[in-house]
Amino acid sequence: MLMMFQIVPIMWRSVRPSRIADMPAVVNTFWLRKGYEGLTFFGQILTPTQQEADRFNAGASADRMSAAMKNHEMIHLRQAQACHDSWLCFYLLYIWYWIKAAWFSKRSVRRQLKHAAYRLNPFEMEAYGHMYDKGYLLRCEGGAQEWRQYAKMSLKERLLQYRANHKL
């Protein structure tokens, strides 16, 4: 029960995305269930277990997969910078894209890809597309913008792009 409210001080004390150099991972079993890895939340990464948190916090000694996971979450930080440097703006837009894909898009597209509303979210497409690229964060230091291209596409076009990106 306590875990449910632990996100309140994180929101309360949050600062603008551009003022954050690194995001620490913290365990929160209420908001993050097992099976999920991490969720960027107002400048911190919520994880379901201490083991997952340690992977995100491993820094330079992280294995390739952990480093990529951290990179993925840090790309969301850069995207929030591009959303008027506001977490609230970023999350509202994120939810809007999710709703649009989940409710207002052709069912035929959704049927072709599991978790389509998540995977074809413009923010996720950029984060998944560049998580193994170590130089990406530095190249978009002022804000990550690639998601804007995906946002302009229809869900069907995004599905084709997704398949090309992941060689499916």
Q: Helix 64-82 and helix 87-103: axis angle, to 10°? A: 100
Tokens of 147: 């998601």
Q: Is the dihedral of CA 52, 19, 141, 147 positive or negative?
A: positive
Member of 127, 131, 155, 159 binding Zn ion (CB under 5 A): 127
| Distance in Å, CB of 158 to Zn ion, minimum | 15
Tell me, what DSSP letter sits at residue 52?
A: H
Q: Does 77 bind Zn ion (CB under 5 A)?
A: no
Q: Does 75 bind Zn ion (CB under 5 A)?
A: no
Site string for Zn ion, 97-126 (x = CB under 5 A): ---------------------------x--
Q: Which is nearer to Zn ion, 64 or 107 (CB)?
A: 64
| Distance in Å, CB of 131 to Zn ion, minimum | 9
Question: What is the rounded distance in angstroms from the CA atom of residue 76 to the CA atom of residue 22?
Answer: 12
| Distance in Å, CB of 103 to Zn ion, minimum | 20
- Identify the residue whose tokens are 């977490």: 87
Question: What is the rounded distance in angstroms from the CA atom of residue 44 to the CA atom of residue 62?
Answer: 18
Residues that bind Zn ion (CB under 5 A): 124, 127
